[in-house]
Amino acid sequence: MRVSVFIEKYFWLFLIAGIALGLWNPLSLELSTPFLPKILLGMMLFLVFLKIDALEILENIRNYKLMAYIASVYMLIIPVSFYFIFNFFDPELAIGILLLTAMPAGVSTPALADIVKGNASLSMSLAIVSQMLAPFTVPLLFWLIDLNNHSIDKLLMLKDMVLIVFLPMIISQIVKKYFPLSIKKTQHLFTSLNVLLLFSFVYFAISSQRNVLLGNPANLIRDTVILYLVFIILHLIGYMICFRQKKENRIAVAIGAAYMNNGLAIVLAASYFKPEILVLMVLSELPWNTLLAPFKRVVSHL
């Protein structure tokens, strides 16, 4: 078995290894920079966009009403609903859940949808559309929900998100145009490279918050349980919001709802929010990386 195939097949081992290594042997602060998470995330997005033609996918989306409906649920209704529910119990936690659920569908969702027998094409379209909307909807949410105790520069957040999402997309399309043969020859390596980048991202994120994670185990357990509950509910909501669609489409929508771009959430949390919220975003790696197999088993019996 080729190394790239092994990495792609057992991607979850590398993600769990990133978590374990960050807790056991954290990255030295001298080796890290504030820009490292943004650089790693940009590289991951660049490799994903190299494999797809974002403009072509958008042109092929014919059911605009369905896409607008799903996008509005993903990017507005779900995060606002979760925020107001959690705000009754813990305002700080509510902000973290708002940030997490406001994220676009993860760039890996088409692969995840394919694993659980969902509509990978629909998943790809949802991922692209939500990625392109996120730079505008996320700052809008934090502007609409006035957070008096949090000095968040919405315009700076907008600028960062535009750069993180659109710059890799633009560069990838330029590279594809001028080096099509090179891209075609090396495309089979992109997924495995992204797994390694994701491992590095998780390792860095866990390392940066290791002391906080291990310093208060009671809060750690509580927040982890809450996040698992949130992710399970997101699976259910995603599967039910398009109840008239065929099963493959409903699976794809559920994957997009539950497997958000939490890497982007970690970057934003590190830049604009308190350490407690950053820890929550890092903890979201646990349900993100462990719930796909149970979900696959459940939908196989539906």
- Is residue 69 over pLDDT 50? yes
- Is residue 251 over pLDDT 50? yes
pLDDT of residue 5: 79
Instruction: Decide if 9 is inside a domain.
Output: no
pTM of structure: 0.79
| Domain of 281, in residue numbers | 33-299
Instruction: Decide if 291 is inside a domain.
Output: yes
- Is residue 30 over pLDDT 60? no
Instruction: Count Cβ atoms within 10 A of the Cβ of residue 181 and give its class: 0-12 exposed, 13-18 middle, 19 or more buried.
Output: exposed
Instruction: Decide if 275 is inside a domain.
Output: yes
Instruction: Decide if 27 is inside a domain.
Output: no
Angle at which helix 11-24 crosses helix 190-208, to 10 degrees, equals: 20
Q: Among 48-57, 174-183, 249-258, 275-284, where is mean pLDDT lowest?
A: 48-57
CATH number of the structural domain spanning residue 275: 1.20.1530.20
Model confidence pLDDT, tens digit, residues 168-190: 888 988 998 889 899 888 888 88
- Is residue 113 over pLDDT 90? no
Report the number of distinct structural domains present in the chain.
Answer: 1
Rounded to the nearest 10 degrees, how much is the dihedral formed by the CA atoms of 58, 60, 63, 69?
-20
Look up residue 227 and give its amino acid.
L
- Is residue 31 over pLDDT 50? no
For the record, the structure tokens of 118 come out as 């969902």
Instruction: Decide if 21 is inside a domain.
Output: no
Mean pLDDT value across residues 59-69: 76
Model confidence pLDDT, tens digit, residues 191-204: 788 778 878 877 88
Q: pLDDT band for position 74 (50/70/90)?
A: very high
Instruction: Decide if 270 is inside a domain.
Output: yes
